[in-house]
Structure 1
Amino acid sequence: MEVALLTIGDELLAGDVENTNATWLARQLSARGVAVRRIAVVPDVVAVIADHVRAYGDAFDAVVCTGGLGGTPDDLTMESVAAAFDRPLVVNEAAREDVERTLAAIAAEYPDLDVNVERHASLPEGARPLLNPDGLSPGCVLENVYVFPGIPREMRAMFGLVAEEFAGDLRSRLLRTPLPESEVTPTLEAAREELPEVILGSYPSRGDDPNRVKITGETEAALDRAEAWLRERIEVEDGR
């Protein structure tokens, strides 16, 4: 399974907000054997978002979008996804009921809160609603496009609703070596021809941690072969 991540918001491009959603989602998907093939950050512009949704939806098995849900003028993600599929935005009754329940639950704490319920509950026509377990704005699934909120705790909770829909065959293994990266590089270059069934990555040390070589493949047999080949050629610390 190949997935693209589309993170949306001018605040991400300006560096005002750190893009932790992309990192978290990439880790979750990779742990499920899914290959994350693209991570993109785009502005709050309908045409740009829609173009990316169309292109990535055609190229990959799934697209995961985060950010741009809500009632402010720059919350344009639902409109953009609807445009990508040439569908109108319509009020989803399940989403409306959930938004109203959430507002009723917080009414005492926020008595002056003024929310456009229909705007929050409007999804692309035919989309499957994802009710927000930890916030107000619903997400949705439309064909192979998943739309989550940008607030990290809400995004993580919503991903949990559909996590089982993401599964792939990739698995990985880390080898740790005391050798400097420059000494490992020739071996990794040779491995491109000798080990075509795996992908090898070299990750420099962080602080007191040793350098790491990551092996990624689709079978344990492929990982075993690659690990044995590497252990014959570079020094590897015990415990991987």
Structure 2
Amino acid sequence: MHITLKFSDFFTKEIFCKIMTTKMPLGLSRSTLFRSFSTNKRKDTAGILVIGDEILKGQTEDTNSRYLTKEIYKMGVKVKKISVIGDVVSEVSEEVKFFSKSFDKVITTGGIGPTHDDITFEAVAKAFNEPLVLDPTLHKLCMKFYNTTNANIPGMKMAFIPQSAKLNFKSNISSQPLIYPNISIHNVYMFPGIPELLIKTFRSVKDGIFRNNEHYFTKCLYLNTSESDIVQILDTVVRQHPEVQFGSYPKLSNKQYQVKLTIESSSEQNTTLAYEKLLQLLPEGSIVNINDIEEK
């Protein structure tokens, strides 16, 4: 049988070799395996870069990364790393290069604006060996916003972006187009640092960044016993369900519960089975009614 294969980010040489060396059951062709692999949903990874001296100095609280991790996770994508970095072009550039090679999607937040310390566009351009160029669309937006035709005003800095960058005004059909777009280049998406603007921008374009991913199914248990009392039970269930991820989080000085357990996977059935196994094995009376919990 002759097989013509076009490799892509999804369909790797490793997958090809795995299929070609697989011993085929009677009645199953290799073409069936190829179709199976090619229709599986990809599980993307993401990295977040928080840019700003004010974060490192403790002058501003970073709420953006917490918001992004929760929203990205809802879309079936795991954030693998968060890095906080100062307003130094060379350092941001190196971090962008590393993140771009390491993760499927890279989200930056901060460093977009008219002042001297807004260096994200410059650093990202440097990371991909591109010049900053005046984008015609952004040029018009800035002139309208600042009510001027002077291209040398500080605010016009926001119209200079990496040469091959794209403007993303929206991807969510229910959202209104953004006044100032999200800027992206390759797999790097640059967002503002002001939390209100970040949230508005992310909601508008997130569907265009993270598509066709499996969602994760999560269940939680709250216990009025210590971790040491349930460690053997938890270890047993972890071994029995290797496809499920478990988390154990003690709560000190908490009158409602002592430990929070999380059970999650990309399969609702697997998550439910592991959850029900824990219900069977945990000591009687150790589980706190979820309706009595006030998570903060």
Q: Quote the Cα distance in structure 2 between the aligned partners of 1:45 and 1:192.
A: 44
Q: Quote the Cα distance in structure 1 between the aligned partners of 2:89 and 2:57.
A: 18
Q: 1:90 to 1:230 in 2, by over 3 A?
A: same
Q: Quote the Cα distance in structure 2 between the aligned partners of 1:80 and 1:86.
A: 10
Relative contact order, CA 8 A, sep 6+: which one is greater? Answer: 1
Instruction: Give the TM-score taking structure 2 as reference length.
Output: 0.71
- Mapped pair 1:180 → 2:226: yes
Aligned amino acid, residue 126 of structure 1 = S
Structure 1 gap ranges (5+): 108-113
Q: CA RMSD in A?
A: 2.5
Percent identity, aligned pairs only, is 30
**1:178 to partner: Cα distance:** 2.0
**1:61 to partner: Cα distance:** 1.1
Q: Which residue of 2 aligns with 1:151?
A: 194
**1:21 to partner: Cα distance:** 0.3
Instruction: Give the TM-score taking structure 1 as reference length.
Output: 0.87
Q: Which residue of 1 aligns with 2:267?
A: 219
Q: Quote the Cα distance in structure 2 between the aligned partners of 1:209 and 1:100.
A: 56
Q: Quote the Cα distance in structure 1 between the aligned partners of 2:143 and 2:230.
A: 58
Deviates more, 1:50-59 or 1:18-27: 50-59
Q: Which has the higher strand share?
A: 1
**1:197 to partner: Cα distance:** 0.4
Q: Quote the Cα distance in structure 1 between the aligned partners of 2:233 and 2:137.
A: 56
**1:52 to partner: Cα distance:** 1.5
Q: Quote the Cα distance in structure 2 between the aligned partners of 1:172 and 1:184.
A: 20
Query: How many residue pairs were aligned?
Result: 232
Please show how residues 177-216 of structure 1 align to structure 2 within 5 Å.
177-205=223-251, 207-210=254-257, 211-216=259-264
Aligned amino acid, residue 165 of structure 2 = A
Q: Does the CA contact (< 8 Å) of 2:114 and 2:157 recur in 1?
A: yes
What SS does structure 2 have at the residue aligned with 1:213? strand
Deviates more, 1:206-215 or 1:81-90: 206-215
Q: Which residue of 2 aligns with 1:111?
A: none
Q: Does the CA contact (< 8 Å) of 1:98 and 1:131 recur in 2?
A: no
1:23 corresponds, among 60, 66, 75, to 66
Q: Quote the Cα distance in structure 1 between the aligned partners of 2:108 and 2:95.
A: 10
Q: Does the CA contact (< 8 Å) of 2:113 and 2:155 recur in 1?
A: no
